[in-house]
Amino acid sequence: MHARTTRLSRLAAFLVAFWLAQGSVAAASEEVVGRFGDNPKTGVKPERIRIASVSRWGSTLSPGSDLIVKFQQPGQALRFSLGVPLVGSSKVRYRVSARSDSEEWVDVFDEGLAAGKPTWVDRSVKLEGASALASEFRFRAERASTESSAPRRLAAHVGAIRMVRATISQRDRPNIVLISLDTLGARYMGFYGNPAPATPKLDAWFRDAFTFRRTYAPYGNTLVSHSSLFSGLYPKDHQRIEGTFPQPKLNSLVAAFGQAGYHTAAVTENGYVNSGFGFDVGFDSYDDGPNKLLRKMRPGERTGAKETFRRASEWLDENSQGPPFFLFVHTYEVHTPYHISSKAGRRLADSLTPDDTRDLGDRTGEMVAKYNRREMELTRADLDRLSALYQGRVRTLDDLTANFLAGIAARGLADNTIVVITSDHGEQFGEYGKLGHGDSLHGTVLQIPLAIRWPGHITPGRSTADVELIDVMPSVMELAGIPLRKGVTGRSLAPTLLQHDTPIPDEPSFSELRRTTAGCDQKAKKTKGGKETKKAKQGECRKLWIAARHQNWKLIRSVDGTERRLVRLDEDPGEKIDLSKVRPEKVAELSKMIDQYIGGAKTDHEAKPKAEFEAELDEAVAERLRALGYLD
């Protein structure tokens, strides 16, 4: 496999240190110095606890049993979250005591919570006096009422337990806001050449940021691509493939931010970025979004990005004045189904197809699935209308994202916050005989936007070098001065971001595809009489394909080498002309790169039967995946 090392990391580290020390008077800040679960000597491991839509790592408290949490060092404040008891449960009295070494316990917190709407409430305890040097804490829960008529059920949970201390630094460490606009392909932004005015506000923001013109996703699927984003690894290495459950553990780089003193949080819209798929690893708080089944929602409740950015803004209001934070925000706003919730989006969609103003609504997801399975024929007019509806959704997303970004500035956070905007994959509408994104290695799906902004540190600029989604987290980590662990494939782009004349090494980039026809391996074969017969054998419709890109050449090849397609991207950006037969030397050159890429990696990541997959899924998540077109 090709080497992807951070060759200029020393230069980047120097530049980061230089920027952090410039023009600043010493200022007080905070950092997280310990979390529940950090100390293996306690023998107590945190568990994932979900209340409403928010998951936090913590523990369920039972009467008569204590949770003891030990930290390696003391701090100035203890922060944690408490679960509000369910309606019908007993009022809970939460008590926290502290001690240092083997001294007596000292009570530092005592509060009763009445039953109500399930949620987490955040609490902070200032440690002073006898508790100032405490490193050991005891959490207890008991019924607040002893009356015989009181409910006997006790629902008590504590989560996100962390120790915080004040620090004196030359300059506050940068906050991080990572925004993933799911399914937004680069070609549908005006900044990347779309003639339709779908993204006027994002285009303006991109012009004031450092942008990458050729950024590629590792896979055309939400779960796989985001797993690569957070791990800095290709799919072949993290081995998290759609359609498999349980998923391998995600070795997320977010944990490094927590270890460096950051408060980490995520606000998402469920689906394949759900905490149940392990994406909450390393996060203090992970909000999956509404847990209500889509089929039970009224149209007005399907608010998408509007609701997601509102929740993210609330999180900023409550947490932005504490330790430096890492906030991940993810929205499915432009994913199927193509509901348009804004007047601006509707006007754009109808202007693109003035003779066809159909509102296909919930049918769009079904149309995509059936078209790809050759169960439905669509005319060019149908495909154009689907594209128009998608772009109407993009126009809606443009306004909502811009409002959220303006809110960051209005809170006074812009100057010391690194904001990254990207996507996991794009969308195609009939190109190469496909709809959607899950079954393609073409640029229509794999080329995604990427912009990074940090006022006063990163000046606006553009790079035309090939970069990848796996490069995002290593870049942000180096900008924040956080060491990158060994074994990460992604490279840091920080040297180029901080000093524009530093070139990005010319290395090949790769993407994968393991699923050629959505649902094909689970679709029952039927006889003419309509009787169900033997289902397709597992893997019958699957084949591992790799796309390799280098110096304007791209080869899409099956791993066994029996099928291949070669294109020249600078002369044929639409990838329409196959040159594999006329340029065999290029096929051989890129095939060697693919062989090196595969190396000794396992290639037999066949999914378990879908019935097993769905049986282990939370029904709300399964329903969300069906609505997004991932499950039948």
Mean pLDDT across the stretch 539-564? 86
Mean pLDDT across the stretch 129-152? 77
pLDDT at 299 over 50: no
The residue ranking higher by pLDDT, 166 or 539, is 166
pLDDT tier, 607 (very low <50, low <70, confident <90, very high otherwise): very low
Of 262, 254, 253, whose CA–CA distance to 33 is shortest? 262
Mean pLDDT of the chain: 83
- 467, 447 contact by CB (below 8 A): no
Reduce the DSSP state of residue 435 to 3 states and report it. Answer: strand
pLDDT at 129: 85
Distance CA 626, CA 369 (A): 11
Mean pLDDT across the stretch 300-310? 77
pLDDT tier, 147 (very low <50, low <70, confident <90, very high otherwise): low
The residue ranking higher by pLDDT, 203 or 369, is 203
Q: Which of 110-119, 372-381, 504-513 has the highest mean pLDDT?
A: 504-513
* % residues pLDDT > 90 (the chain): 56
CB contact set of 620 (below 8 Å; sequence gap of 6+) = 270, 291, 292, 293
Q: Which helix (H) or strand (E) holds 594?
A: helix 584-598
CA 469 vs. chain centroid, Å, equals 11
pLDDT tens, 481-498?
999 988 999 999 999 999
Least confident of 110-114, 157-161, 228-232, 287-291: 287-291
pLDDT at 266: 97
Tell me the CB-side half-sphere exposure of residue 113, using CA atoms within 13 A: 28
pLDDT at 620: 57
- Residue type at 324? P
Least confident of 63-67, 178-182, 552-556: 63-67
Mean pLDDT across the stretch 500-505? 89
Mean pLDDT across the stretch 593-604? 70
pLDDT tier, 33 (very low <50, low <70, confident <90, very high otherwise): confident
pLDDT at 170: 36
pLDDT tens, 219-271?
999 999 999 999 999 999 998 887 766 778 899 999 999 989 899 999 999 77
The residue ranking higher by pLDDT, 338 or 422, is 422
| Secondary structure, 3-state, 74-94 | CCCEEEEEEECCECCCCCEEE
| Secondary structure, 3-state, 537-579 | CCCCCCCCEEEEEECCEEEEEECCCCCEEEEECCCCCCCCCCC
pLDDT at 303: 57
pLDDT at 172: 65
CA dihedral 224, 230, 624, 384 (to 10 degrees): -60
The residue ranking higher by pLDDT, 178 or 338, is 178
> pTM score, two decimals?
0.85
Q: Which ranges constitute the DSSP H helices of 288-353?
A: 305-319, 343-352
Of 517, 594, 582, 516, whose CA–CA distance to 555 is shortest? 594
Beta pairing class for 67-70 and 27-35: unpaired
pLDDT at 246: 72
pLDDT at 390 over 90: yes
pLDDT at 519 over 80: no
Six-digit token string for 574: 């639409």
pLDDT tier, 291 (very low <50, low <70, confident <90, very high otherwise): low
pLDDT at 426 over 90: yes
Helices (H) and strands (E) counted in the chain, each on its own, are 15, 27
Least confident of 171-185, 456-470, 601-615: 601-615
Diameter of the chain by CA atoms? 86
